[in-house]
Amino acid sequence: MLHSPRGLRCEPTGAKLKATAQAALTKFQHWTEKHQLKVSIENCTTIFISRLVSRPQVKWDNQIITSSTTLKYLGGIIDNKLNWDDHLINIKTKLTHLHQKIIRIAGTNWRLNKYLRRRLYKTVAEWTFLHGAAAWANLLSARQSRHLNSIQRKFLLNITGAYPTTPTAALQVREGIIPLYTKAEQEAANARTARLRKTSNYNNINFNINNYEDGTTPTKFHQAIFQLEDRISINKQFLPVPILNIYTDGSKIDDKTGRAYFVKEEDTTKYEWMAQLRPLNTETSLPLTSRASCYTGDLSLGKEDQPKG
């Protein structure tokens, strides 16, 4: 414990932060043990949003979890300063590679139609950049706006075929393309109002959620109050019926396409079938293969299960 000049007692900031983080991690560990889930410690990373120079160490079963200044979550990169600079740098790298591919497609003589180049930008590059804009594009600084203009400039030159010395603003006006930072702020305001149902402000215009229709959402509760034990059960959920029940499933994982189905009559499995297709096959081949085998199985079952006498 430390004593302040006024005689008040306070805990060291680093020790308090470490204790709080360790308590939260311990609570999560108990939850995973309760539901028999395993966590790969080697793939775990912690990030501390604090002004402390040294980050405290937290442990999982006496094993230290790696600490980092950035964390990738749902396609976005969160940094410990919450200024989203690392996210914008990562997006710029992705779009630079994408721009090089578009240049390779267009060629040196611009044989790709201008309309197609513009459409590639609007449908691929722009939406790749705007991913998660509701989180990071609320309050863009002047430096970040210039950074976004530099990202957009490469695509504008590719679309127009203009000289590299042409100003970015002139390219935007010529093609009627909204500046990237303006588009990001619009997307953030739209997502905040329409999806998050929160009042937002853009260009000194207030958007009230009461003025917009509330769309239907499949999730009626917040993810933080999700209770696994109330949503998932391994107990039998259906009543036996005196007819044939056919269950099918198919998936494609690691370039391997598989399909399976089985037929049950009440609690007795009458027929089952599974197969793995070649890597060249796609998921569209699954229903055809499954239906053919399913029909064959049903016909054979019908002959075998006919009542005698």
Chain segment 65-120, per-residue pLDDT in tens: 888 888 888 888 888 888 888 888 888 888 888 888 877 776 655 567 788 888 88
276, 257 Cβ separation under 8 angstroms: yes
Same domain, 143 and 99: yes
In this prediction, residues 141-160 reach a mean pLDDT of 87
Query: In this structure, is residue 292 part of a structural domain?
Result: no
Give the tens place of pLDDT for each residue, 232-249. 555 555 555 667 777 777
Q: Which has more confidence, 127 or 5?
A: 127
Please identify which residue in the block is written with the tokens 């679309």. 159
Query: In this structure, is residue 291 part of a structural domain?
Result: no
Same domain, 52 and 90: no
pLDDT band at 282 (very low <50, low <70, confident <90, very high): low
CA distance 250 to 274: 9
Give the tens place of pLDDT for each residue, 34-66. 888 888 888 888 888 776 667 778 888 888 888
Q: Which has more confidence, 308 or 13?
A: 13
Same domain, 64 and 89: no
Coil, strand or helix: which one is 121? helix
Same domain, 270 and 155: no
Same domain, 92 and 205: yes
Q: Is the pLDDT of residue 122 over 80?
A: yes
Same domain, 102 and 140: yes
CA distance 70 to 80: 6
- Does this model's pTM top 0.95? My answer is no
Same domain, 47 and 117: no
CA distance 274 to 254: 18
Quote the tokens at residue 12. Answer: 């060291």
Same domain, 196 and 271: no
Q: Is the pLDDT of residue 224 over 70?
A: no
**DSSP state string for 134-148:** HHHSSS--HHHHHHH
Query: In this structure, is residue 282 part of a structural domain?
Result: no
Domain count, the chain: 3
Same domain, 132 and 19: no
In this prediction, residues 159-170 reach a mean pLDDT of 87
Same domain, 198 and 96: yes
Q: Is the pLDDT of residue 167 over 60?
A: yes
Query: In this structure, is residue 96 part of a structural domain?
Result: yes
Query: In this structure, is residue 34 part of a structural domain?
Result: yes
pLDDT reported for residue 11? 52
Low-confidence winner among 147-161, 173-187, 272-286 (lowest mean pLDDT): 272-286
Same domain, 60 and 150: no
Query: In this structure, is residue 171 part of a structural domain?
Result: yes
Query: In this structure, is residue 112 part of a structural domain?
Result: yes
Query: In this structure, is residue 232 part of a structural domain?
Result: no
Q: Which of 157, 188, 209 is the last residue of a domain?
A: 209
Integer angstrom CA distances of residue 28 from 21, 138, 224, 268: 11, 31, 13, 41
Same domain, 184 and 91: yes
User: Which residues span the domain enclosing 34?
Assistant: 14-68
